């Protein structure tokens, strides 16, 4: 059972589209992710307006979300090298909906209720994100759950788009 507001779509894009996206992503100037004084193992590229090669994906995800594509005003490309995890967190409250695409290899996207009660690890739920799959987080899952990605064994990328809160 998925938390309310979580939608998952396997094979959201074709393998050829994934290969084209990965080729473009590998040419991006990725930088180590920084959050306050912490430097993460993952590398990122952040855009207020997506580069041209991501515009068709943004439009398709916006259609899926039933939003005008211009509402997806923040774009994040993540590179997860082997051994890289993304710890428990909720995305910044300045954003409303999150739409993501998983590329390269499968991973687990974990969810747990927020605020987390220490010792209640049995409340966590796992969603297997297959390569080329997409997901949406909005509503309850966006505000009342945290999410994380355990360490991956092989190189993985994700592209996420966020809509501003209105």
- Are the C-beta atoms of 152 and 84 separated by less than 8 Å? yes
Domain ranges of the chain: 6-164
What confidence score (pLDDT) does residue 28 get? 98
* Cis amide bond preceding 115, omega within 30: yes
Nearest alpha carbon to residue 98 among 14, 29, 7, 20: 7
Q: Which residues pair with 125 in a beta bridge?
A: 111
User: How much is the pLDDT for 143?
Assistant: 95
Q: What is the pLDDT along the chain (166 residues), one digit of tens a residue?
A: 689 999 999 999 999 999 999 999 999 999 988 777 677 778 999 999 999 999 999 999 999 999 999 999 999 999 999 999 999 999 988 999 999 999 999 999 999 999 877 766 668 999 999 999 999 999 999 999 999 999 999 999 999 999 988 7
CATH code, 6-164: 2.60.120.590
Which two structure tokens, joined as six digits, stand for 47?
């855009």
Residue 91 near residue 74, CB atoms below 8 Å? no
Report pLDDT for 8: 98
What is the structure's pLDDT at 40?
A: 73
CB 68 within 8 A of CB 58: no
pLDDT at 166: 77
Q: Is 5 helix (H, G, I), strand (E, B) or coil?
A: coil
| Residue labelled with tokens 């959201």 | 12
């Amino acid at each position: 059972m998925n938390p309310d507001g979580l939608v998952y779509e396997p094979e959201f894009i074709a393998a050829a589209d994934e290969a084209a996206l990965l080729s473009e992503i590998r040419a991006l100037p990725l930088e180590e992710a920084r959050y306050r004084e912490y430097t993460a193992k993952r590398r990122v590229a952040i855009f207020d307006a997506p580069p041209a090669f991501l515009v068709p994906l943004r439009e398709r995800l916006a259609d899926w979300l039933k939003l005008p594509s211009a509402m997806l005003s923040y774009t994040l490309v993540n590179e997860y090298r082997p051994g890289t995890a993304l710890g428990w967190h909720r995305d910044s409250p300045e954003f409303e909906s999150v739409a993501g695409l998983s590329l390269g290899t499968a991973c687990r996207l974990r969810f747990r209720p927020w605020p987390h009660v220490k010792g209640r690890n049995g409340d966590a739920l796992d969603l297997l994100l297959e390569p080329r799959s997409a997901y949406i987080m909005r509503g309850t899952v966006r505000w009342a759950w945290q999410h994380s990605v355990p360490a991956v064994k092989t190189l993985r990328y994700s592209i996420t788009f966020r809509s501003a809160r209105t």
